[in-house]
Amino acid sequence: MAEFGFCVEGVLKYHNDIVDYFNRRGVSGIFLMRKNLLHRMISILANTYDQDMKQLNGTHKSHVHSREEADVLAHYKPKINVTSLLSDLTRTEEMAADALEYFKSTRHIILYYEDIVNNETKLMDVQDFLKVPQRKLVSRQVKIHTRPLSEQVENWKDVYNVLKETKYSSFLGQEVA
């Protein structure tokens, strides 16, 4: 049996071929998603910014291992395009739903970043899914975005006003998980 982890974005175009391959070869899929799509958007914008600016000694890092490096990366406050915000969030939801639909015939597990961070037993579920012996897993990675969303987004008031009375309003009050 083989296992394979992948990003939703990278599989939608060729999903029929990938599903066929997974089922023929016994590959298992791990869907890692975010519940709070606004957090996801902020992470993507910050990561894209760092790819261009290379804030840590001229190098790009999406994951860091010290509080000092995390603080440097967390200093950037993206400005979110509020004109397309609702359609961007809807498109992200649809893309995730499509991926789950496309891969429903494969052996897979769905994980949410927030659950993994907040519930140590989720990693045991992953180990059970992968049929590997359970062990305590630890990470040296340091969270980058630890402040409330209102302190992470340049145009927070605009974002808040766009989302406050929509189905996405729950994203506004959640602290970074």
Tokens of 20: 């066929």
Residue 7 has what pLDDT?
Answer: 52
Residue 4 has what pLDDT?
Answer: 40
Q: What is the CA radius of gyration of the chain?
A: 18
Residue 39 has what pLDDT?
Answer: 93
35 Cβ neighbours under 8 A, 6+ residues apart: 112, 113, 114, 115, 177
What SS3 class is residue 61? coil
Residue 10 has what pLDDT?
Answer: 60
Q: Which spans in the chain are helix H?
A: 15-25, 37-53, 67-74, 85-102, 113-118, 121-130, 156-163, 170-173
Percent of the chain at pLDDT above 90?
69
CB count within 10 Å of CB 169 equals: 11
Residue 9 has what pLDDT?
Answer: 54
Contact by Cβ (8 Å): 124, 114: no
User: Taken in order 73, 78, 84, 89, is the CA torsion positive or negative?
Assistant: positive
Nearest residue to 35 (alpha-carbon basis) of 115, 130, 152: 115
Residue 6 has what pLDDT?
Answer: 45
pLDDT < 50: residue spans in the chain: 1-6, 175-177
Only one residue has tokens 């400005």, namely: 79
Measure the CA–CA gap between 168 and 162, rounded to whole angstroms: 9
Amino acid, single-letter form, for residue 165 = E
Residue 58 has what pLDDT?
Answer: 87
* pTM passes above 0.75: yes
